[in-house]
Amino acid sequence: MRRNLTKMVGTLLFAGLVMPAGMLLANTTTQPPEVTSSSANWYDVEQASNMLHRMQTLTLKTRKEVARIQVQDWELDWRDQADKLTRAKADINKIGDDLAQLDQMKNRLEPWQQSLVEKVTPQIHEMVYEMDSALKTLNAHQNRDQLMLSEYPQNINIIYKNANQMAGTIGTVTQYAHAEQKMAALRHMTTSKESS
């Protein structure tokens, strides 16, 4: 009997020590940003969703163009590389234009859209910088051997990496937000049915 009492006291002490720590940790974990906001403007939210989708499509195109240069850099003539980079730069410029519009609309967007704009802004800035650097290097060194010894391959890799990350980030965050919105609608429907 004494053994059972000791076991029970030990269990209660353990639970008494662990539960407050668990509650403390539960309060400090960061919660994802709110999905919807009462201050968001419906028209701007829809327009932002379309722009984000277009940005994702353009980053995928940029990634594809740059990937061709990465794989075939020894085989492609510098003019072919310049052509691919020029097309990718045009897409990056369109992404930058969309980003500037999104930044102006930021206070009228959903919190997840605001957060997404903040996340992708540094990636776009880095892609613009690396693209300008790659094009300058390509124009200065039209010889394949000189190009490979310059920062050009690194510029191409950074553009590819940022385009890949940006497309993934936009896709993941958008899917998460839509899933959260559907779950909130379902919760609202079930609580409405339960209360009636």
Determine the straight-line distance between the first and last CA of the chain, rounded to whole angstroms.
Answer: 53
Place of tokens 């052509």: 83
At 9 the pLDDT is: 47
Structural domain contains residue 12:
no
Q: What is the pLDDT of residues 23-41, one digit of tens each?
A: 333 443 334 445 555 667 8
Structural domain contains residue 115:
yes
User: Could you read off the pLDDT tens digit of each residue along the chain, which spans 196 residues?
Assistant: 555 545 544 554 444 444 444 433 344 333 444 555 566 788 899 999 999 999 999 999 999 999 988 766 557 788 888 899 999 999 999 999 999 999 999 999 999 999 999 999 999 999 999 999 999 999 998 887 788 888 999 999 999 999 999 999 999 999 998 888 788 878 878 887 777 6
Instruction: Assign residue 157 the CATH number of its domain.
Output: 1.20.120
Structural domain contains residue 162:
yes
Q: By three-state DSSP, how is residue 27 classified?
A: helix
Structural domain contains residue 75:
yes
DSSP 98-157: HHHHHHHHGGGS-HHHHHHHHHHHHHHHHHHHHHHHHHHHHHH--SHHHHHHSSHHHHHH
At 13 the pLDDT is: 45
Q: What are phi and psi of 189, to 5 degrees?
A: -65, -45
Structural domain contains residue 64:
yes
Domains held by the chain: number:
1
- The residue segments making up the domain with residue 149 are 42-195
Q: What is the pTM of this model?
A: 0.73
Q: By three-state DSSP, how is residue 177 classified?
A: helix
Structural domain contains residue 15:
no
Structural domain contains residue 23:
no
Helix axes 42-72, 78-105, angle to 10 degrees: 160
Structural domain contains residue 168:
yes
The DSSP output letter for 1 is -
